[in-house]
Amino acid sequence: MLIKKIGHSEDILEQKDSEYKYLSPFLYKKDKKYFLLYCNRLSSMEFYGEINFSSSLDLVKWKKEKIRILPPFNNSYKSLVSPSLLSIKGKYFLFVEGQKEKKKSDILCYVSNNFKNWRLKSDFLLSSNNSSLTSPYAFKHINKIKLFFSINNNIIKLIELDEKLNYIKEQKCFTKKLKSEKYSIYSPNIIKLKNKY
């Protein structure tokens, strides 16, 4: 990953010789420390990706943490990508895209009580037989979780959950309308400025 600065560029995370590439960064602040979560594709020879963590006190100097999230061991998913993290009442929820080999993805959730040891939340799964669900983004709003994601890179959908990840309702946010938008509607992200989202 590079941060481009005027006149030069500076690596904020250095890849090992054995690593292929880093994807889909997500920034999270915990206490006075920033955490950068990302997909680490370890090899160009094999379709694989795990979620890794790095930390920083100033958003410039980063240290790789010995925290990594591995795909489920039942071989259902070959890669995890697009992390999105939030905390609710002292518990951490990490939503990820679980990728299968045949361009099929589901939305999974990992849970941790201590931010270091993570387990798959086996009773939560967003999946569709006919569609690929990608790029989750979780946003906490008034005791509810608003989970945005893409369907086949053509639609952004919102599912509303309670704090125990029980389903409340869903809606389409927007869909592709132009020919040039085919397979390009994905990777949602929300920020709040004053009273607007």
> Binning pLDDT at 50, 70 and 90, where does residue 75 land?
confident
Least confidently predicted of 11-20, 45-54, 130-139, 140-149? 11-20
Cα–Cα distance for residue pair 180/31, rounded to 1 Å? 42
Cα–Cα distance for residue pair 195/147, rounded to 1 Å? 20
Looking at per-residue confidence, does 1 or 168 come out higher? 168
108 in Cβ contact with 99 (< 8 Å): no
For 2, 3, 31, 134, the CA distances from 7, given in Å and listed in that order, are 13, 12, 33, 36
Cα–Cα distance for residue pair 187/149, rounded to 1 Å? 7
